[in-house]
Amino acid sequence: MKIDKQQISDLNKSVETKHLIQLDFIANQLQHKGIDGQHIIKKLKDFQVAIPSWALGAGGTRFGRFSFGGEPSTLEQKLDDIGILHTLTNAAGAVSLHIPWDIPQNYQAIKDKAAQHNIVFDAVNSNTFQDQSNAKESYKFGSLCNSNKAVREQAIQHNIDVINIGEKLGSKSLTVWLADGSSFPGQLNFQETLKNTQDSLKTVYKSLPKDWKLFIEYKPYEPNFYSTVIQDWGTSYMLANECGERAYTLVDLGHHLPNTNIEQIVATLLYKGKLGGFHFNDSKYGDDDLTVGSIKPYALFLIFNELVYGIENNPKNPDLAWMIDASHNIKDPLEDLIQSLEAIMIAYAQALLVDQKQLKEAQEAQDIVACQEILQEAYRTDVRPLVRESRVQMNAAIDPLAIYRSLEIRKTLIKERGKNSTASGL
């Protein structure tokens, strides 16, 4: 299934007048503050977030999974789903593949399909946290960190295979997330485990094409419940430095201990030119993988405030790889992603409204009350008309969720793919 741009234009009509009144109001308000609304809108139009191929199906917990009808069961269908998202939102112009779940049968066909949808191939993801049925070695006790050399070699080779697949599709980066760790004190020797991981990552890094980047993810716990080899940004940063210039830390919002100040980590990595990628989601307890902005939208804004500042002021840091990494346990995945994209755009727009000059002055004057006012002035502004306009200008939907529903897309997908289709993966 594919949505027609004309359909969207037609459906936009019914809310166009309302939209223009709201846009006019905010544009005037911003003008009074000396802010050019079109400039913000331009930035919003350019912002693209990758959708991981595994996010199109229903997620689950260890207590089970409630399946969802019409899930994409092939890579082609996954690309179609992202195509729908991108047509509606103009914000999902990239896909992030997970290997071995998404190994293309026919590379040219896949590339054509993606091109049709205006989708590019962002970072490829390796998987060494599960055993494949044909695998010789098991990752039960770790992969790149494993004390058993044969396991490490298998995991290294897998990463090299993933790079090769990515190269054929046009990806330029590899994301490594390791579940490696331990569930019991004493289970592994921390120092040797770290050394093994370091050596393995260096070997993978050496296999990278010259124009590729390596993203090293960190996470404090789960699926291991005592220790994780790359437990925090400090470990990831240290390993990235060991690997070399094109190795970077990747921040996933849900991968932190309770109460962590994530925006400070983001700022530190940008300062050091070592922030490579960013995974969006939201959470209340742990790595809950909820819809972006559904729990802590102000924290998301504060993080975007650092990202906007860093993009402006840290030329050494590369362009970031943005991705949504959420688990759609009880919502229609496409609706969940539409809500996530909206929350990202809103936070980004709010951050773009922060008066950096005024903020710097207030910081230098150590006028804390004013600093807070400046941030909250931006955050409390209703920027949704700007976000909507950024879509209108690209022929996307003023209200993507409403159009998704009025077009009965899920119903069509179920008709096409069946009630019990299952996304490849977990």
Q: Which of residues 65-104 bind a copy of itself (CB under 8 A)?
A: 66
DSSP letters for 205-250: HHTS-TT-EEEEE--SSSS-SSEESS-SHHHHHHHHHHH-TTEEEE
With CB under 8 A as the contact rule, the residue among 87, 143, 171, 329 that binds a copy of itself is: 329
With CB under 8 A as the contact rule, the residue among 31, 38, 106, 363 that binds a copy of itself is: 363
* Binders of a copy of itself in range 147-186 (CB under 8 A): 147-148, 179, 182-186
* Binders of a copy of itself in range 230-259 (CB under 8 A): 231-235, 237-238, 257-259
Which residue is it, tokens 């409204």? 353
Smallest distance, a copy of itself to C-beta of residue 353, A = 12
Number of residues located near a copy of itself, criterion CB under 8 A:
110
- Region of 35-43, 45-53, 129-137, 162-170 interacting with a copy of itself (CB under 8 A): 129-137
Tokens of 198: 């370091």
* Binders of a copy of itself in range 16-55 (CB under 8 A): 18, 22, 25, 29, 32
Contact 189, 161 (CB under 8 A): no
Q: How far is CA 396 from the centre of its chain?
A: 21
Nearer to a copy of itself, 78 or 256 (CB): 256
Nearest to 47 by CA among 298, 266, 319, 375: 319
Smallest distance, a copy of itself to C-beta of residue 107, A = 28
- 346 interacts with a copy of itself by CB under 8 A: yes
Q: CB under 8 Å to 209, separation ≥6 — which residues?
A: 163, 167
With CB under 8 A as the contact rule, the residue among 14, 31, 61, 157 that binds a copy of itself is: 61
Nearer to a copy of itself, 137 or 167 (CB): 137
Nearer to a copy of itself, 38 or 261 (CB): 261
- Region of 49-57, 91-99, 116-124, 221-229 interacting with a copy of itself (CB under 8 A): 221-229
Alpha carbon distances (Å) from 302 to 25, 219, 344, 366: 25, 21, 12, 19
- 393 interacts with a copy of itself by CB under 8 A: no
Rounded CA separation 9/82 (Å): 19
DSSP letters for 382-397: --HHHHHHHHHTTT--
Rounded CA separation 337/324 (Å): 8
With CB under 8 A as the contact rule, the residue among 16, 31, 157, 226 that binds a copy of itself is: 226
Nearer to a copy of itself, 80 or 399 (CB): 399
Contact 321, 173 (CB under 8 A): yes
- 285 interacts with a copy of itself by CB under 8 A: yes
With CB under 8 A as the contact rule, the residue among 74, 118, 138, 203 that binds a copy of itself is: 138
Nearer to a copy of itself, 207 or 260 (CB): 260
Contact 417, 71 (CB under 8 A): yes
Q: Is 201 exposed, middle or buried (0-12, 13-18, 19+ CB in 10 A)?
A: buried
Per the document, the length of the chain is 426
- Region of 2-10, 104-112, 162-170, 308-316 interacting with a copy of itself (CB under 8 A): 308-316
Q: In a 3-state reduction of DSSP, which class is residue 125?
A: strand
Smallest distance, a copy of itself to C-beta of residue 207, A = 25
Q: What angle do CA 399, 400, 405 make, to 5 degrees?
A: 105
- Region of 74-82, 105-113, 327-335, 408-416 interacting with a copy of itself (CB under 8 A): 327-335
Q: Is 145 exposed, middle or buried (0-12, 13-18, 19+ CB in 10 A)?
A: buried
Rounded CA separation 235/216 (Å): 10
- 364 interacts with a copy of itself by CB under 8 A: yes
With CB under 8 A as the contact rule, the residue among 331, 388, 391, 417 that binds a copy of itself is: 331
Nearer to a copy of itself, 207 or 231 (CB): 231
Smallest distance, a copy of itself to C-beta of residue 111, A = 30
With CB under 8 A as the contact rule, the residue among 108, 133, 134, 366 that binds a copy of itself is: 366
